[in-house]
Amino acid sequence: MEKLKKKIGKIKVFYSISRIDHWPKQIFLVPGFVYIFIVEDLNIFNLLNQYHLILSCFVCTCLIASANYSINEYLDSKYDKYHPLKKQRALVSKSIKLIEIIYYYFFLIFFSFYISYLFNHNKFFNYLLLIFAIAGILYNVKPFRSKDIFVIDILSEALNNPIRFLLAYFSLSSNYEINYNILLSYWFGGAFLMACKRYAERRFIKSEKILLKYRPSLAKYSNYKLLFLIILFSILSILYLYLFFLDISLVNPFFSLYFITMFIFYFYISTNNQGLAQTPEKLFFKINFNLFLIFFLFILYILFKIS
């Protein structure tokens, strides 16, 4: 009976470190599908007929993300204990052997590629799954551990945005000509989100000593520097989105300025005291955010139709 309890407890730990509650972040796949919809002149029925590819893309991406999270939780457990929120994570208080984490990591990676093998035969999709996994290693594992390097931590984590974009795109398309402006816009948009997250953490953890113990790179930032980066990345994202719309000639390029409302709204979230910018996955369970998102997309659709 005692052994059974230990096994159940260990399963709960592995479930926790997989961060399934973070899977809603795979909504960042959606712009890749929208891009196909625009540039290849598809209709909604074309996309619906490929539902198995869309679903497999979502599942494969979630599994790689969970593999990255498992490594992250193990390596960060000695730092997370200093964070007021993250100190409640499973591995901060419970011990799991490194070899068990490695086995679990490769199980998730293998499962992801197996699903890809069953449903998606585009080799570039598989390459991108591998790049997504490698990006997690570079971000979390020494001697690379880019999350501890000033500014690079933001840019390297934000790189997951264009990777997700390309995963969605290559799950449905074999056309390798992609407008780089949309990828840069998406990358800098992700950097904006990460800078907001750092800003929220910086304001939430006021003690410099705790900052140094929790995240060395975070201690190198000041609120002023983070505000500068937030403005810079938002401008770059809008700029490259403008250039993208200018290139495709399907919509008025000034249509990109509408996205400023999304940047402003998210920045507002990062400045409040609810900690939402630190845990953005929880936003999808907030009624106000979902109402804003629905309204944003509705206006976006109207502007797209009349442009």
Per-residue pLDDT tens digits for 114-125: 999 998 878 899
C-beta of residue 203 within 8 angstroms of C-beta of residue 221: no
Same domain? For 110 and 215 the reply is: no
* Bigger pLDDT: 104 vs 121: 104
Domain membership flag for residue 48:
yes
Same domain? For 51 and 157 the reply is: yes
pLDDT beyond 70 at 161: yes
Average pLDDT over residues 16-37: 88
C-beta of residue 267 within 8 angstroms of C-beta of residue 203: no
Domain membership flag for residue 1:
no
Domain membership flag for residue 224:
yes
pLDDT beyond 90 at 158: yes
Average pLDDT over residues 50-66: 93
Task: Give the DSSP H or E segment for 170.
Answer: helix 160-172
* Confidence (pTM): 0.89
pLDDT value at residue 124? 92
Per-residue pLDDT tens digits for 188-240: 999 999 999 888 888 877 777 777 777 777 878 888 999 999 999 999 999 99
pLDDT beyond 90 at 14: no
- Residue 16 belongs to what domain range? 8-178
Same domain? For 167 and 226 the reply is: no
Domain membership flag for residue 3:
no
Q: Which of 112, 110, 128 is nearest to 171 (CA)?
A: 128
Domain membership flag for residue 15:
yes
Domains held by the chain: number: 2
Domain membership flag for residue 2:
no
The residue among 178, 196, 223 that closes a domain is 178
The amino acid sitting at 105 is Y
